[in-house]
A and B are shown apart, each in its own frame.
Chain A
Amino acid sequence: MATTSSWRQAGVGLIVPALLIALWQAAAMLGWVNPQVLPSPVAVVAKWIAYLLPLQPYDPAAGSWLAWAVSGELITDSIGSLYRVVVGFLIGAGLALPLGLAMGASQRVYDWFNVLVQMVRPIPPIAYIPLSMLWFGLGNPPAIFLIVLGAFFPVLMNTIAGVRQVDGIYLRAARNLGASGSTLFLRVILPAAVPYILSGVRIGIGTAFIVVIVAEMVAVNNGLGFRILEAREYFWSDKIIAGMISIGLIGLAIDVGMNKLNNHLLRWHRGLEN
């Protein structure tokens, strides 16, 4: 029963998108819009498949079948973008987590850093583009620098809040059981802060994904952001839309993955039922 109704629910959700796509296709077929401005959905899908498939025919002499199968532009671009997101996010979160834990746990550390953090935090990472290119030139380094910035602050702010909001009753219970110092921190304060930290991680990855697209538009010559800007130069609007769809799909995949990780790490948490 439950599966039937969930299928039905999913089906209901598809009606509006299907109608919109049908309307779009009709508009394209009836010549209401210039295909250069808005290509038909069929043309976009055809382009997306062409973008996905390898550019060269399969040649066994050149290498393995698998290497050939993933040699398509879309796959290379996606890997390029994901690499930057992953590296940038890991550096950004890796710096933010210890600082956030220290700022949350110690009023003195908080007082030392808070003013600086509050002054730098409102500057959007994108505003650093000119500086990042001056400092790091072109290629991956400026892009990764921007992503580090984008990931850093959400993780930092949520980690601070997570440590500060730990319910006093857990601290009392832990001290009563004999916990102190690093045991108290690692076994009680840190796990209690995990729900906050994870929501910071989620926001941080979202920001990193926005920033990577922008960074690729200015500093790099591959990746999904670069590709849709390149397509504009040639008026390939079908490829622009195909690229946007790919960005959306990867964003969705990241979100689903984060959700799974969340549910696993927070399986003890009251709000979650699996």
Chain B
Amino acid sequence: MSTAHIVVSNVGKVFQTAERDVVALQDINLEIPQGQFVCLLGPSGCGKSTLLNAIAGFALPTSGSITADGRVVTAPGPERGMVFQEYALFPWMTVADNIAFGLEIKGMARADIAAVVDKLLKMLSLQDFRNRFPKDLSGGMRQRVAIARVLALDSPIMLMDEPFGALDALTRRNLQDELLRLWAELKKTIIFVTHSIEEAIYLADRIVVMTYRPGTVKRDIMVALPRLRDPASAEFNALKRELGQLVMEEQQRHHHDELRMAAVD
């Protein structure tokens, strides 16, 4: 029995379509210790989101198993809070109500909920937006609310599916710094999906590069650079070049596959 916080062992996932079976994941093995910041990196179609969804419990693997915090993952749950690229805030709830929702489900007392919400609004600089609806917020603000909503659950694991993919570059850097600050303070285990090499190097302790179909682990590397990392530094760029090479190989396979599929059609 491993002592790691999240254990992915021999995980495979096959999607069955009318014409053929698509092997999205194959023989994935990962052991993620408590408090590690892991980025899953790869081109689209490499199965990184599929793997994240499997860990979240939305779509279970067809073979192998995943344990989180010592328990086998069988369904989604608040102990593995997820931040989505599309924010997924409830538009009919105010910012404060969105953050409180998970706590209400837990059955927490009203006064305690109010205290947690206040703390999180402050932590994410959202005090002035407490009673706004999501439609009145910018993308960056919405993602802050989504992060606060997951932090409210006080779960040890945070899953993030390209959370900053839809944001402009400045907002993105701003939220990356914020996330690093929160992570250092709260010591969460984070699994963060991205296709941005720079984002992965900027954030992660460890980068798992995935292959395009079937999705396997192509390279699993530790990033030893001290934080905050300087994207203009030589070490950063050396790593960027190395990872760029790996991702590009998979991107090319993706591209060829698309061309082949088009020819078959």
Contact = CB atoms under 8 A, between A and B. Distances in A.
Contacts of B80: 176
Interface in A166-198: 169-170, 172-179, 183, 187-188, 191-192, 194
Contacts of A188: 90
Nearest to B133: A268
A170 B77 CA distance: 14
Interface string A147-179: 000000000000000000000011011111111
B168 to A, nearest CB: 20
B102 interface: yes
Contacts of A169: 84, 86, 88
A268 B131 CA distance: 11
A172 to B, nearest CB: 6
Interface string A251-274: 000000000000000011110000
Contact of A173 (B75, B90, B92): B90
Interface in B65-87: 75-78, 80-82, 84, 86
Q: Which 8 residue pairs spanning A and B have beta carbons closest together?
A: A177-B102, A173-B88, A178-B78, A268-B133, A191-B92, A178-B105, A270-B135, A175-B76
A213 B82 CA distance: 54
A183 B81 CA distance: 18
Interface of B: 56, 58, 75-78, 80-82, 84, 86, 88-93, 101-102, 105-106, 133-135, 149, 153
Contact of B88 (A172, A269, A270): A172
A187 B77 CA distance: 17
Interface string A111-126: 0000000000000000
A177 B133 contact: no
A178 B106 contact: yes
A188 B89 CA distance: 11
B91 A268 contact: yes
Contacts of B101: 174, 177, 179, 187
Nearest to B101: A177
A170 B101 CA distance: 12
Contacts of A187: 101
B143 to A, nearest CB: 13
Contact of A183 (B56, B89, B105): B105
Contacts of A179: 101, 105
Nearest to B106: A178
A271 to B, nearest CB: 9
Interface in A188-230: 188, 191-192, 194
A172 B92 contact: no
Contact of A191 (B56, B82, B90): B90
Contact of A176 (B82, B106, B133, B134): B82
Contact of A267 (B81, B102, B133): B133
Contacts of A270: 91, 135
Interface centre among A172, A173, A187, A268 (most CB of B within 10 A): A173
A79 to B, nearest CB: 35
B136 to A, nearest CB: 9
Interface centre among A174, A267, A268, A269 (most CB of B within 10 A): A268
A165 to B, nearest CB: 14
Given A172-B58, A269-B135, A178 B77 contact: yes
Nearest to B81: A176
Given A177-B101, A268-B93, 10 more contacts: A169-B88, A175-B58, A175-B75, A176-B77, A176-B78, A177-B105, A268-B92, A268-B134, A269-B91, A269-B92
